[in-house]
Structure 1
Amino acid sequence: MFEGGDYDVQRVAGIGPANWLRPNELLRNCERSVAAQSYFEWVRYDSAAQLHKLVVAPLEDTPVALRAVDPFSVCAAQLAAAQQITQQGAEHYLTRALALRDRLPHVKQLLKEGHVAAHHIAQIVSRTDLIEGSEHMADIDRDIAAQLRRRGSWSTNRIRDMVDAMIMLRDPDLVRENRTEAKKRRGVWNNNIGDGMSALDAVGSAETNNLIMQRLEKLAMSVCNADPRRKAERMADALFATVMGREFSCECPKDPKHPCTASIWTWPADTMVSGVDMKLVLHVIADQATVNGDADHPGYLQGHGIISAEHVRDIAERPETKQRPMRNEYEQSQPLWNDHDLRAEAEYADLYAQDQAA
């Protein structure tokens, strides 16, 4: 069916017309189609990397590389025309192709074999940007590939947490340095978006922004059902009220026949910002050894995902943090991602797959 290349022709040839097949054959059709899609995505990445090697690499140390339209842009433009995508999209695609070739060869091989879905590649590449040039780069590539070979499904969040955990377990110093630089990028910006509106962008630590969002959401949900505003609008009004020290109120019609049932807790304006009588709870899971500084195992932050040991200790040192020991029977804390847990999850995935097949 497909000429050229080293792809398993029989596997692709096994994909038949859907209207001729029975249910089990249709499921095999879907499975083989996903594997074929991954393979053809590998062909695209491999071809893009090879084109870069032929067109761009020979000119990297020449005056041509200093031009406004450099060889990389020209190469991306050719890929954009061939694949009917934008110039920016082609440049991002070419960057990922080079990362797979030079940084993640084992992950790239899995893509060829159909063991990783094509739509996960962009996230895996972006989350491993910080390991470029690291002495552990090859080990992290193998670790990620080993995890992806396990049976079972991978959601976007599971991919994110798995990649982050593999990096943190191999090179915690690299993650610590990266987080130190990231903390310097904190800031707030006001952007004009037209029609008399602007967007307020804020960059802060994951736990701080999570707490802010929880508070705004609590305020937004404290109005009665007759409030005409959408939730997003109420959260925007709650942000203004909280920051400016104004009262946040319900905007229902105040119909005497249907009294307002809002549960907003109002304080005197000169003593405290109006708000909801509430407690904001943000869960962080980590082992005690990491909190004490005796280990560097990654932790887990609710609403964010895997965090570094340094980040765990930063949260533990905040004055509002309350530590609640789980009182398990183990004297020595274990990392969140250990071999026993991974084997147990793999066995569960196998049992689930067998059950589905039955």
Structure 2
Amino acid sequence: MFDSLVASATGASGAAGLDGWTRVESASCARRVAAMVDMLAVVHAADGSAERDQWCLDNWSAVTAHIGAAARITSGAASGMLLVGIALRERFPKVAALFTAGLISYPVVRAMVTRSANVIDPDALRALDEQLSSAFQDCEPLSVDKTEKTIDAIIADVDPLALRRREAQARDRRVDITIEDGSGLATLFSTLFATDAHALDLRLDALADTVCPSDPRTKDQRRADAFHALTHGADRLACLCGTDDCLAALMPPSTGVVIYVVTHQDTLDARPETPPPPPPDE
């Protein structure tokens, strides 16, 4: 099928060619995601796979690191695509078929997977797969908002309890901080609204990039240190490069802290006595 899509796009021009190559792009992405899932399956099938789940670098982390290196993406992006691929294979075979045929794009597929995560009933899943594939097979282009609303409407039709589960998760949002005894470190776990989490992610990146390129810390370390800046009201990180010509060091962090001193007016009006001159050198 893929070869025929490429051949059709190659032989077309204008709008027909653009449509053809758009389908080729989506179909190629579908095979890319499927290949990621195959990589994970191979690792899980290997001898000693169960033991590696207790290692510092478990099966999932090893596969996402491998995918990231091969696909030239971050491990986080690889993890997200891998989750989508697993959901397509295990939960949405008809949607996966449309994706493989190039009839729907990856952003639409990702929206289907993420917004339907709370659908757990097998019968509801089959009905959802059927209705999603039917609704989006010949669907005209939709904005992100309309796409999400269409998906949510179908989910509400096949499994109304899924929306209640999402509302329950929103009510349970929280931030937990665990202080590690004696290490000087702490662990933070949180469940936030997606908009707030995205804003926090962008803010941490922005603060992490306020130092010069010679700063010795990694990006992850600077993002962690950015929490210090956030909690203390600072507008930037202190650069640790130690060079004399560092431009970032010329603009130290501003915390916006105002110090008020309470004193009598006569203290402010008093003038210090002129100190005696130093004795002459003998």
Alignment TM class, shorter chain as reference: 0.5 to 0.7
Pairing of 1:12-161 with structure 2 (within 5 A): 12-16=6-10, 25-58=13-46, 62-132=50-120, 134-161=122-149
Q: 2:171 aligns with which of 144, 164, 183?
A: 183
- Matched-pair contact (CA < 8 Å) for 1:76–1:87: yes
Partner of 2:183: none
The question of whether the paired residues in 2 share the 8 Å contact of 1:59 and 1:65 is answered with no
Percent identical residues: 19
Structure 1 residue identity aligned to 2:168: T
Equivalent position SS for 2:141: coil
Q: Deviations over 1:138-174 (max 9, x none)?
A: 2111111110013411221121011111111111123
Q: Which of 1 and 2 has greater Rg?
A: 2
User: Does the 8 A contact of 1:99 with 1:125 survive in 2?
Assistant: yes
The 8 Å contact of residues 38 and 114 in structure 1, kept in 2 or not, is answered as yes
Q: 1:196 corresponds to which letter in structure 2?
A: A
- Structure 1 residue 118: Cα displacement: 2.5
Aligned partners of 1:106 and 1:141 also within 8 Å: yes
Structure 1 stretches of 5 or more lacking a match? 1-5, 199-358
Q: How far is 1:137 from its partner?
A: 1.1
Pair 1:196 & 2:184 matched: no
SS at match of 1:15: helix
Match in the other structure for 1:258: none
* Pair 1:186–1:83, CA change in 2 (3 A): closer
Task: Classify the secondary structure of the residue corresponding to 1:115.
Answer: coil
Gaps in structure 2 of 5+ consecutive residues: 176-191, 201-226, 237-282
Q: How does 1:305-344 map onto structure 2 within 5 Å?
A: none
C-alpha spacing 1:144/1:60, structure 2 compared with 1 (3 Å): farther
Q: TM-score, normalised by structure 2?
A: 0.59
The Cα shift of 1:52 comes to 1.2
